[in-house]
Structure 1
Amino acid sequence: MASWIPTVAAVGMAVGPPLVYVDQAVSIVRKKDSTGFSRDVCAILLIANITRCFFWLGNRFELALLIQSLLMIVAQLALLYICVRYRPRVSPENFGASPRPLSFWQWHAYAQYIEFLAGFILCSAILFLIFGRSELYITILGFVALGLESTLPIPQLISNYKQRSLYGFRASTLLGWVGGDSFNSRYVQCSNCL
């Protein structure tokens, strides 16, 4: 096997998944409307990737996957900002009404999302300092990160069902999810063979 193939695959693995959301972000900015894209997707990816970073501290996996998590966090923070900025005029948070407890992840200001994520990181860091030497705790972190990320399409499906439309959701994002999972499976399979 050519020596450059693993390097190209690692770069693709690190950069590809965050780039999936560029088309979605451009579409929202162009329309000045985030209707159709569920911000809960950002929540899942942010929480899962932050958790994966803490998992990496306890169980060092490939550097390309850590870089992917860090880039995904940056990409989702940017996409979340765009979604909040261009949210529909008729949305629960604009009227102070949300069916969720504490209006979770339907807050009015971007700063509220950042405050939640800072608190989540702080709590995760404290728990890691307390339990970070426990193999069981590290394993649980890995399962939580992976399990949470596997629920990624669910909030988008719910959003599309409630709207009875796919308006605002980019097919490129869906193709990126399917293609990314396929590439990820093949990448892990090939890296285990080396």
Structure 2
Amino acid sequence: MSWLATLAGYVAPLFLVLSPVFSYSDQAISMYRNKSSAGFSLDIPLIMLVASMLRIFYYPGARFDIALLIQSFLMVAVQLVVLKIALDHRPPPTSKGGEAATPFAGAHEHGIFEKPRPYGFWQWRSPKPYWQFLLYLFIVLTLGELVLAPFRSLYPAYSSLIGYLGLSIEAMLPLPQIFANARSRSCKGFRVSVLASWLLGDSMKMFWFFTSPTEIPWAFKISGLFQAGCDSFLGIQYLMYGNGEAAVKGHFAPTWPGSQHRPMVKRTGSDLGPSTLRTPIISEKDS
């Protein structure tokens, strides 16, 4: 087993560092070539950007393995590119697949995120607020680091807080896909090759987390176990539902301040947008 742990100690960190490129480059290229981000939820870059930024600021207090820090920086870079392409090629809300740009679109139907987001958070039509939010988050985290770092009695608790928060946010990433598959009783648009890469990555990550001689905080281990469980459940869903047509009922258009309710537009399976990474293809009703 010692040789296996040694091998994992070299392969797993390299895989983790490059995983942002492996996971999202195909999605970015597809949206750019098709000139459309239909079917891609903007909550994916939101979750990964916030989680990765929190992990970066967690490092000074935790001093975890450097490979995890490099992965966080690379993930931020990749997700900024993905967000830029998705915003540039986002379809209007009244077009086929237009609800794709609405985060967790359709989740309202089953009580998940039932209340509308304050100020239409991360559902803005203008690209500017997205970049402003990310800039403000970076400024707040930087100020928090500079102000609290000198206070040795407070800083460890603050560092642990943002670390667990960031990893918890990242662990939530599979949940929208799980809810979408369960509602539509289909995994159409969800690539089995992507699922296989996730499960392989989970296996390598878990083995490395629990055998690495370098410091891996328990926050990473708990988050990794939860995410591995979610990915495994996605595999079970794929076996149960297959890749058949989704049971799509309606087309969602977000309600902006001052707008009127809009009726649902019946859709068929042929109206669905292209397949995406961890992107729910789901039915919608107006919130």
- Normalised by the length of structure 2, the TM-score is 0.57
Give unpaired runs (5+ residues) of structure 1. none
C-alpha displacement of 1:180: 2.7
**Bigger proportion of residues as helix:** 1
CA contact (8 A) 1:53 1:69 kept: yes
- Could you tell me which amino acid in structure 1 is paired with residue 71 of structure 2? Q
2:24 to 21, 25, 36: 21
- What is the DSSP-based 3-state SS (H/G/I as helix, E as strand, rest coil) of the residue aligned with 2:92? coil
Give unpaired runs (5+ residues) of structure 2. 102-115, 216-287
Let me know the Cα RMSD of the aligned residues.
Answer: 3.0
- Normalised by the length of structure 1, the TM-score is 0.81
Partner residue of 1:127?
144
- Could you tell me which amino acid in structure 1 is paired with residue 48 of structure 2? L
C-alpha displacement of 1:165: 7.0
CA distance in 2 between partners of 1:167 and 1:31 (Å): 19
Partner residue of 1:64?
67
Identity among equivalent pairs (%) = 37
CA distance in 1 between partners of 2:209 and 2:118 (Å): 38
**Residues 106-135 of structure 1: CA deviation (Å, up to 9, x unaligned):** 223333222111100111111222333421
CA distance in 2 between partners of 1:52 and 1:143 (Å): 9
Partner residue of 2:175?
154
CA contact (8 A) 1:29 1:82 kept: yes
- Could you tell me which amino acid in structure 2 is paired with residue 131 of structure 1? L
Partner residue of 1:111?
128
Partner residue of 1:47?
50
Partner residue of 1:81?
84
- Could you tell me which amino acid in structure 2 is paired with residue 44 of structure 1? I
Higher gyration radius (CA): 2
Residue 193 to residue 58, structure 1, CA distance change in 2 (3 Å): closer
**Residues 62-118 of structure 1: CA deviation (Å, up to 9, x unaligned):** 1111000000011111111111122122247x9xxxx43222112233332221111
CA distance in 1 between partners of 2:137 and 2:76 (Å): 13
CA contact (8 A) 1:37 1:159 kept: no
C-alpha displacement of 1:183: 2.2
1:141 to 162, 180, 191: 162
Partner residue of 1:180?
201
CA contact (8 A) 1:24 1:169 kept: no
CA distance in 2 between partners of 1:162 and 1:155 (Å): 11
CA distance in 2 between partners of 1:73 and 1:137 (Å): 22
CA distance in 2 between partners of 1:177 and 1:163 (Å): 22
